[in-house]
Amino acid sequence: MTYDRRFATTWQLLLDSICTTMGALPGHEPPIILSSLPDLPYARDGRDGPAPLSFIQGPPGRNIALAIGLRAAKPDTPLVLLMNADSVTLGTNHLIHAARRNIGMTLLLLRSELTQHEGGGNLDRTGWGMPAYQRELEAPSRPLDWVSALDAALVGRANLRQPDELATLLARAVSTPGFCVIGVTTDDHLPTGVLSTCDWHEYFAAYREWAAPLRRAVLAEPMPATETTPRPRREVPRFEVRIAGLGGQGVKLAGTVLSEAAGLVEGLWATQRGDYGSATRGGPSMVDVVLGSEPITYPCADHPDVLVLLTQAAADRWARSAKPGATVIADATEVTRPPPGALAVPISALARQHTGKPIAAGVVTLGCVAALNDAVSLDALGKGLAANMPASIVAANVAACAAGFAATRAAVH
């Protein structure tokens, strides 16, 4: 970059440091930059050509969550986040969990003096400033202390007036496996350099190592003699399931058991995504499970192959989401106006019959799903149930699952 650093903007100095870091790490892929600041430093494909770095503009406080997804999808690509106070207001939980699990990314945490007046005096809508009465009642936020206490891989601070030193510290952070945070300031009274380090497993790396035998089983690769011989690889097309009802019917449990049975027992790829209201009981609850023999890039069952409706409210909301030719199952008692062509299965009645509790409705739906697709067997579902509930109630729930299987087969034929 050609400019006088004495008159450089925050963006120019940050990009200067990032580009210097790239030059110091020739073996790394170019980083992806995730910014929650109001403006990007330049327009994409502007008059100066394409942007030299890959930028993602994310919502305040949520960029850490976006980066976690990228970390899973692109494990070898460095991720550099640019955030200010939104990381410890809207994004506090994301910050804490990323540090606690040591998820691999580098966060440049900008103090308010760097962004508050950037771009012609724009207000910093997520600034550090607090009203006087709040300052008297609350201790100031100390995010660098937080992440140090949570054993983040590297925590440091740099002064933006020394962009070369920032680049050196950033290069070390990008080369360090795990969650790294660099506080960026222009306050000359604050100490700079590395403040703490911790050598601990990075979340995704540790779980990849743990899951290596499962991956080899899915890919049918030769395994060491000490390990169990894998089952032959099965070709299972992408299969989407949506279960919708109320909180208290075991909808979330059904999604957990189905996805774990598919992934951990059957050796398939599987994802689970839930949607539920604030009420623990009685509020709307829905879960999507997607499974198949190929990696899953989108976890939502927007147009499910199997749609299970446990209440009339769920039918009113979700019935139209099923893809053409999909199988729709409606609880024979609870859904009084089922969609055309839906299979009527007494799900709630079977739950009460076998367990005495309506929460087992979700377990019955597992048998319904297994009856319509052989990707996940009743045996695999039984193992999933045993792993997710007390031993004393496993037998009754396995029976409820089998009853849902038999009732669905009877409804189909």
Whether 205 is covered by a domain: the verdict is no
Whether 221 is covered by a domain: the verdict is no
> Is 2 or 32 the better-scoring residue by pLDDT?
32
In this model, does residue 384 exceed pLDDT 50?
A: yes
Instruction: Decide: residue 23, CB within 10 A, 0-12 exposed, 13-18 middle, 19+ buried.
Output: exposed
Shared-domain flag, residues 196 and 308: no
**For residue 47, what pLDDT is reported?**
46
Shared-domain flag, residues 9 and 100: yes
Contact (Cβ atoms closer than 8 angstroms) between residue 59 and residue 113: no
**For residue 216, what pLDDT is reported?**
63
Q: Residue 120's domain is classified under what CATH number?
A: 3.40.50.970
Instruction: Using the 3D structure, point to which of 200, 225, 250 is the last residue of a domain.
Output: 200
Closest CA to 294 of 262, 268, 265: 268
Shared-domain flag, residues 261 and 362: yes
Closest CA to 178 of 92, 100, 109, 108: 100
Shared-domain flag, residues 194 and 304: no
Residue 227's pLDDT band, with cuts at 50, 70 and 90, is very low
Mean pLDDT along residues 44-70: 73
> Is 60 or 135 the better-scoring residue by pLDDT?
60
In this model, does residue 371 exceed pLDDT 50?
A: yes
Whether 216 is covered by a domain: the verdict is no
Instruction: Using the 3D structure, point to which of 177, 200, 223 is the last residue of a domain.
Output: 200
| CA-based radius of gyration for the chain | 26
Instruction: Using the 3D structure, point to which of 142, 176, 200 is the last residue of a domain.
Output: 200
Shared-domain flag, residues 175 and 246: no
Q: Residue 296's domain is classified under what CATH number?
A: 3.40.920.10
Contact (Cβ atoms closer than 8 angstroms) between residue 354 and residue 390: no
- State which residues form the domain around 286: 239-412
Whether 212 is covered by a domain: the verdict is no
**For residue 308, what pLDDT is reported?**
96
52's tokens? 């030299």
Whether 260 is covered by a domain: the verdict is yes
Task: Please state, for a pLDDT cut of 70, what percent of the chain lies above it.
Answer: 82
Whether 106 is covered by a domain: the verdict is yes
**For residue 359, what pLDDT is reported?**
87
Shared-domain flag, residues 184 and 245: no
Shared-domain flag, residues 281 and 194: no
Contact (Cβ atoms closer than 8 angstroms) between residue 401 and residue 393: no
Closest CA to 257 of 291, 206, 230: 291
**What is the pTM assigned to this prediction?**
0.55
**For residue 8, what pLDDT is reported?**
61
Shared-domain flag, residues 282 and 139: no
> Is 214 or 57 the better-scoring residue by pLDDT?
57
**For residue 372, what pLDDT is reported?**
94
Shared-domain flag, residues 396 and 321: yes
Shared-domain flag, residues 13 and 103: yes
The number of distinct structural domains making up the chain is 2
Residue 125's pLDDT band, with cuts at 50, 70 and 90, is very low
What digits encode the pLDDT tens for the residues 138-191? 677 788 999 999 999 999 999 988 888 999 999 999 999 999 999 998 888 899
Contact (Cβ atoms closer than 8 angstroms) between residue 207 and residue 107: no
What digits encode the pLDDT tens for the residues 10-50? 777 888 788 888 777 777 778 888 888 766 565 554 445 55
| 154-184: b (≥16 Cβ within 10 Å) or e | bbbbbbbebbeebbbbbbbbbbbebbbbbbb
Whether 219 is covered by a domain: the verdict is no
Interior CA angle at 49 toward 20 and 63, to 5°? 60
Shared-domain flag, residues 396 and 340: yes
Contact (Cβ atoms closer than 8 angstroms) between residue 269 and residue 263: yes
Whether 228 is covered by a domain: the verdict is no
Shared-domain flag, residues 289 and 191: no
